[in-house]
Structures are given as structure tokens and as C-alpha cells.
A and B are shown apart, each in its own frame.
Chain A
Amino acid sequence: MRRSSLTAIAPLLLVLATGAAQAHAFLDHAEPRVGNKVATPPREVTLWFTQKLEPAFSRITVTNAAGERIDSGKTRVSGSQMSVPLRGGGPGTYHVNWHVLSVDTHTTEGNFTFQVGQ
């Protein structure tokens, strides 16, 4: 082991000085889009994440302006994509709550809203 401690760490520090990366499941984008307005109630909400998800422990709930659950309760997960069908919930602000487990066993959660109606 002819390397000194300094030469051992130098390449690491050099490489660390550049580069971008990602880890864990974060919301990448959603349909309907976060904070946007749509004319009619969507038939489903779909979320795309930055990581692969565990179907058994990932779910979405959606409530309408009146605070009523309008998702079917059957979240579908495929790779890093997750969606849930909706029942019609009228105009107003819809709240989307999501809770996901990425395959590296870390949970993340979040929420956003979108508007339905003119």
C-alpha cells in the first residue's frame, strides 16, 4: 500500500467537485400537472418519480374541493410511474397526496394541488 492518505483521497475530492446525481424517489412530474388548471375532472392522476417504486407500499389519495376522497383506492405502479383512477368530483381545487417506497427501502411523501373548472 504505497499510497499516502492524501493521494488516496485526492481523486475522490476531484471527482466530487463535479457531477450531479439523484437518489430516492422524488416526484418528477405529474398529469394533471402540479398547480395547473384543467377544464374537466380528469379520469385519473398519474405521477412519475425519479426512482423505481415498490407497488405494495406506494399509494396516491385524491380529494376534491369538498374534501371527499374521489380516487378509486386502486393505485397502479409500473416501474417509476404510479397512477390512480378518479371518480368525477366537480370543479374546484383537488388535493393529491402521495406516499412511496423506493426499492432502496426509503419512503418519501408529498402533496400538490391542481384546479378543475373554468
Chain B
Amino acid sequence: MDWFGAEIAAPMVAARAVHFAASAIAAGVLIFRATVLAPAPSPAPQAPSIGSQLRCVIWLALAVSVASGLAWFVLQAGAISGLALSEAIAPDMLRTVLDETQFGHVMLARLLCVIVLAACLGFDGIAMQRLALAAALGFVGAIAWTGHAGATAGSEGVVHLAADVLHLWAAAAWTGGLLALVLLLVAFGRDPEAARFRIVVVRRFSALGLASVGTLLVSGTIHSWILVGSLHMLFVTAYGRLLMAKLALFALMLALAAINRLWLTPRLASPASGRAATMLTNMAAIELLLAIAVFAIVGALGTLHPAAHFLNA
């Protein structure tokens, strides 16, 4: 398969993309719950089972994440060993990758995070919710150690890792938050009783989104600086062109977010709040689809040689 002039290993890219998106959604919904829904906006209307809906989403995202994570691990073990997939899935080979590579260690640590997270989800207490959030942040943040940042040497490596962890958290907060917001807005529909609640939730999400976008910009810039190396490389390498496609989608998401924040959010307090709420729901849903498309590109980017590679070659 060919994307932007790069030969793409379709199963690997698909497994990675689905895994990143599902992991981000699980963590992002938890971040949304902790920052937007707690403390509960007042007056809280009779929320139609939104809590259990969000919990369902987290469970589903975790299940997809674990399945796609396993697929990624097996495909990666095949790629590492250079063997055909049927030979690579031999227990000895998988065990070697799990025991003796950084990738294996990180995937094992992330599996522990999922187990802790799943165990906490069954409880309602504030301590359990915080532990679940911490496990989710660990689960998503640790992805940084499986990628290019995990192999960057020296102090530049520390900066690269820190930037990647923040990037992953911010991407999760934005994507998972969008999904939670859409579900919440759909659940309340045009209910005028929920108007004030809706305004509080949308404003809080707006703040979360702004923080995420700022973090994504700074951390993404650091990451690109290290992995692309020059403006020229952005245009002449497949990695650079894919990165530009990702930036174009990101810019589209920003434009939608700006419309939501500057035009639709103020109208939530107007007499036409029902219509504004419907439009906001649709726009947020489109934004969410764009975010999923970004994950598809991210799935491919990590499998390519970064543009800066060619400066050394």
C-alpha cells in the first residue's frame, strides 16, 4: 500500500492506529470525567445515565485497545525478528521480544496499567477514580517509550520523551473529551432544563480543549524539530509529507473548534440554545472523526524512518 510516496505495512498501521485511538479514547473519557464532570456542574439535571454510558465507552475502548495492542505486539515481533508471521508467533520468539526488548517491557508495563485501570473501574470512590485516571495516563504516556523518542540518546532524548508523553496525554484529552462531549450533548438533546448544565460543561470542555491544543502545538513542534530536521525534509520525505497531512487535519480541527467556541458556545445562552446545541453536537462529532483520521496517520508515521534519518544516511 502506498501513502504519500511511502510503502505502508497495512496490518501494522491498522493495528497501531486502532490501538492509539482506542487507548486515547479510554484515557480521554477518564480525563473528561475528572476535569469536566467533577466537581459536578450545578444545577445538575437528572443526567440520563450519562455516568454508565461513559463507563461503557471506557470498557469498550479498553477491550478494543487490548485486542489491537496484542495484534500490534505480534506484528511488531514479526517485524523485529525478520521472520514470516507464522514463525514469529512461536512462543519462544514472542517471549524473547517481551523479555529482552524495550518494546516488550513497555508493552508489559502498559498491560499492568490496563489491569489496574479495569480493576478501579468497578468502584465509584474518589480514590479509585483517581487511581484509574493515573493508570490511564500511564497506559497512554508509556507509548512514548515504544517509539522514536524512546531511542533518542542523551539529554535530547529526555526532552523528546517528555514532549511525546505530553503530546499523547493532550491528544487523549482532546479526542476522548470530544467523544464524551458528543455523548453528553446527545443525551440531553434540546432539553431546556439542561441548558445551564450544558453551558457549564461546554465551557469547561473548551478550557480543556484549549489546554490540549496549546500542549499539542508545543510538544508537536519539539517532536518535529527532532525528527524532521529541516523544512526541506518536510517536503521531500514521505515522513514529512504524511506529517503535513496530519497538520492539515489538525488545522481543520482547530477551525471547527474555533467555530464551536467563538460562535456556537455563546449562543447556548440565547433563546435559540436548542439549535445551537444541535449544531455544536454535529460539529464536535465531525471534529472527532478528524481526530480518528489523525490517528490513522500517526499509525503510519511511527513505522516510517523519520525525515531526519536521511540527513545522516
Contacts and interface: CB of A to CB of B under 8 A. Distances in A.
Contact of B101 (A20, A26, A50, A56): A56
B85 interface: no
A11 to B, nearest CB: 6
Interface string A42-67: 00000000111011110000000000
A23 B251 contact: no
Contacts of B151: 23-25, 51-52, 102-104, 106
Given A1-B210, A2-B261, A105 B101 contact: yes
Contacts of A51: 151-153
Contact of B251 (A5, A11, A22, A50): A5
Given A22-B308, A105-B79, A1 B213 contact: yes
Contact of A57 (B80, B149, B152, B255): B80
A56 B103 contact: no
Given A52-B151, A57-B80, A19 B101 contact: no
Nearest to A6: B251
Nearest to A51: B151
A107 interface: yes
Contacts of B227: 21, 23
A9 B247 CA distance: 8
Interface string A1-41: 11111001101110111111111111000000000000000
The secondary-structure label for the interface of chain A is loop
Contacts of B23: none
B100 A56 contact: yes
B230 A17 contact: yes
Interface stretch (B62-70, B121-129, B218-226): B218-226
Central interface residue in B206, B221, B252, by most chain A CB within 10 Å: B221
Contact of A50 (B81, B153, B221): B153
Given A24-B305, A107-B80, A8 B153 contact: no
Contacts of B221: 11-12, 15
Nearest to A102: B151
Contact of B308 (A21, A102, A106): A21
B311 A21 contact: yes
Given A1-B210, A12-B220, A19 B96 contact: no
Q: How large is the interface on B (under 10, 10 to 19, 20 to 34, 35 or more residues)?
A: 35 or more
B254 A16 contact: no
A80 interface: yes
B258 A3 contact: yes
Nearest to A54: B101
Contacts of B82: 107
Contact of A23 (B102, B257, B309): B309
Given A1-B209, A104-B151, A19 B80 contact: no
A103 B102 contact: yes
A1 B257 contact: yes
Nearest to A1: B257
Contact of A19 (B102, B229, B261): B229
B197 to A, nearest CB: 22
B226 A16 contact: no
A82 interface: no
5 closest A-B pairs by CB: A5-B251, A104-B151, A56-B100, A1-B257, A21-B308
Given A8-B250, A19-B229, A23-B308, 14 more contacts: A1-B209, A1-B258, A2-B262, A12-B224, A20-B308, A21-B227, A22-B311, A23-B148, A24-B148, A52-B153, A56-B96, A57-B81, A103-B102, A104-B151
Interface of A: 1-5, 8-9, 11-13, 15-26, 50-52, 54-57, 80, 101-107
Interface of B: 76, 79-82, 96-97, 100-103, 146-153, 156, 206, 209-210, 213, 217, 220-221, 224-231, 234, 247, 250-252, 254-255, 257-258, 260-262, 305-306, 308-309, 311-313
